[in-house]
Amino acid sequence: MIEIPEKIDPSEKIVRFLFSKHLKKSKNLDKFRSTLDSGLINSDYVFYDTRGEVSMQRKDYVSDERCLQIGNSIPLELVGYVSFPLDLYDNTIILHKQEPGREEFEATLLWSPLDSENVERLDRPVCSDDAGLPAHCGITYVNPSELINEEPNTAIRMFSRRFFKRCALELVG
């Protein structure tokens, strides 16, 4: 049992599950598993906000077995993980904001432990062996900073693409 600190350390490893839906084409699944070719992933949507928060796990506080169990509990075909330290995320935000028209882009990555009903826990302390998803964290997009005449969420898709290219890929299964 390890008490999980509220503040995420800059060197702490964060993982995002990759599912077959992230592949550009479903027929690429076997090729991805054999080559781990990041070009087969639709990187625009790996860190795309679909429910208000892009869910991830603080890997330093969840075992490999538990991480795999969480990924497999989602009703999609788990194919791997994208992993990164928090400081890489912070650096990518800085780079993204240097693009013309993206100066106001803002996103936060915060710890948001969930109980067994997937409701955010506000009680403290939270420990690594608590029920639910105690190591859950997520990206919330505060200001997508869309350019004039852009489709909605283009800034987020561009950020997702840029960030994905800087992350490490890990295969499961």
Q: What angle do CA 156, 162, 165 make, to 5 degrees?
A: 135
Q: Which helix (H) or strand (E) holds 80?
A: strand 78-85
Residue 49 lies in a domain: yes
Question: Over the stretch 85-100, which tens digit does the pLDDT of each residue have?
Answer: 999 999 999 999 999 9
Question: Over the stretch 23-73, which tens digit does the pLDDT of each residue have?
Answer: 888 777 888 878 878 889 989 989 986 677 899 999 999 999 999 999 999
Q: What confidence tier does 146 reach under pLDDT thresholds 50, 70, 90?
A: very low
Query: Do residues 58 and 135 touch, judged by C-beta distance below 8 A?
Result: yes
Question: Structure pTM?
Answer: 0.90
Residue 149 lies in a domain: yes
Query: Do residues 87 and 42 touch, judged by C-beta distance below 8 A?
Result: no
Read off the amino acid at residue 109.
L
Quick check: 120 pLDDT over 70? yes
User: Which letter does DSSP use for residue 38 in this model?
Assistant: G
Could you give the number of structural domains in the chain?
Answer: 1
Residue 164 lies in a domain: yes
Residue 4 lies in a domain: no
Domain, as residue range, for 123: 13-171
